[in-house]
Structure 1
Amino acid sequence: MPSIDDIVRFFSGAALLMAGRSEGLKRLDLSADGFWQSFSAIVVALPPIALSWIEFESVQGEGRVTDMGPVAVYGAHALADILAWVLPILVLMLVAKPIGYSRKIVPLVVATNWGGAMLAWVFAPYWLIVLFVGMGGGTALLGTLVTIASIALTVRLIFFATGKDLGGAVAVTVLMIVGALVSYGAVMDVTGIALI
């Protein structure tokens, strides 16, 4: 696990990329060790991601945790989110050479890992709002805005991490969205637990 100072530096690098400043890459560790260490971003993002599970089960799950047990329900959430995080990366690593991304794969993966963790923390207040206020018209609209902002910031992050390749940035973002839907669908099919 990286230190708190390193995490803050990686988050600031991701934020700079999202702000349109390519020098954000200099704050990321693009070495071989940094590539593998970037997967610890999943652990860093776990608290706000877990908050989204709690919100879903408390507000939308209608007491399913008590029926099926918290281990099964939250385990299904965890499995789906880990698959959703890792599956697009595996696909990208497999196709990197044929699509000309061999040199872009390391900055892309490192940036998206730390950017994903940062966005999880940035948007955590939304889950708290829904937990305390409930799901209504206002919170649903806010959720839509959060989703749009997350997608737009991810496209910008990838665009600047890959040397300003807009088509690639959009394609990778779409792959991430599709990967998440496939992962959630697969886990729901296997477990029978609704996750979205």
Structure 2
Amino acid sequence: MPRLEEVGYYLRGLWLLLTGRSEGFQYLDFSERGFWRSWWAILFCLPPTLLSWASFRIYYLEQMPEGTATEPSFFAKLAMVEATNWLIPLLVVLVMARIAGMVSAALPLIIAFNWLSIPLQWAYVPVSLIQIWSPTDGSAALLYLLTLGTYIFISYKISVAILGGQRFPAVVLVLVLFMVPLMIQSQLLTALGLVSS
């Protein structure tokens, strides 16, 4: 498991790429070893993920009859949705890279997106807290949209850096990267009975 210092090293590399400084590549490990280590990002994202599950539980219970309890299967379903949210973008990157003839960029993109998920998942913490403390507060939706917009912009900038400054492929990649998982997540939540159809 990577130490916090190592994770900070990778995040510094992403920040440098985000600000247009190519030396950021020196901070990132785009090797096969780096690929497998990047999946430890899931563990570092666990606290904000569990917090988001707590906020979703409140939303779920509000839609259900009074007295409804959340069984362990409820959280197992959320875990399934979360796993899908991690794996679908991976498949999207692989498919898009192959279609665009940029297979060599697939591994760096996946590694970068995995590590990038840590600060971006933590950025959603205020949204989850508002949803828990004040479920009817509409500011949570606005804050969510602002955070999502920032997420998309940062993902685009990182993609441009890794794709060697090619903006159009980066735009297509990021759009597909966000739209496809959102559509699949919506269908999956409905199929699992976590939201009403």
> Is the structural similarity TM-score above 0.5?
yes
Task: Return closer, same or farther for 1:21/1:131 CA change in 2, 3 Å cut-off.
Answer: farther
- What is residue 184 of structure 1 aligned with on the other side? 185
1:97-176 to structure 2, matched below 5 A, reads 97-176=98-177
Cα deviation digits, residues 74-119 of structure 1 (max 9, x gap): 2222211211221121233245334121221121111111111221
Task: Return closer, same or farther for 1:51/1:181 CA change in 2, 3 Å cut-off.
Answer: same
1:58 aligns to 2:70 (yes or no): no
8 Å contact 2:48–2:122 — kept in the other structure?
A: yes
1:15 aligns to 2:15 (yes or no): yes
For residue 123 of structure 2, what is the amino acid of its counterpart?
V
- RMSD between aligned residues: 2.5
8 Å contact 2:81–2:188 — kept in the other structure?
A: yes
Task: Return closer, same or farther for 1:88/1:139 CA change in 2, 3 Å cut-off.
Answer: closer
Task: Return closer, same or farther for 1:13/1:60 CA change in 2, 3 Å cut-off.
Answer: farther
Q: CA deviation at 1:59?
A: 4.2
Task: Return closer, same or farther for 1:25/1:60 CA change in 2, 3 Å cut-off.
Answer: farther
8 Å contact 2:94–2:106 — kept in the other structure?
A: yes
- What is residue 85 of structure 1 aligned with on the other side? 86
Mind listing any 5+ residue stretches in structure 1 that lack a counterpart?
none
Bigger CA drift: 74-83 or 90-99? 90-99
Length-normalised TM-score, structure 1: 0.86
SS at match of 2:68: helix
8 Å contact 1:41–1:114 — kept in the other structure?
A: yes
Task: Return closer, same or farther for 1:195/1:165 CA change in 2, 3 Å cut-off.
Answer: farther
8 Å contact 2:190–2:196 — kept in the other structure?
A: no
Length-normalised TM-score, structure 2: 0.85
For residue 73 of structure 1, what is the amino acid of its counterpart?
F
Q: CA deviation at 1:179?
A: 2.9
SS at match of 1:20: coil
Which whole-Å CA distance do the structure 2 matches of 1:148 and 1:89 have between them? 20
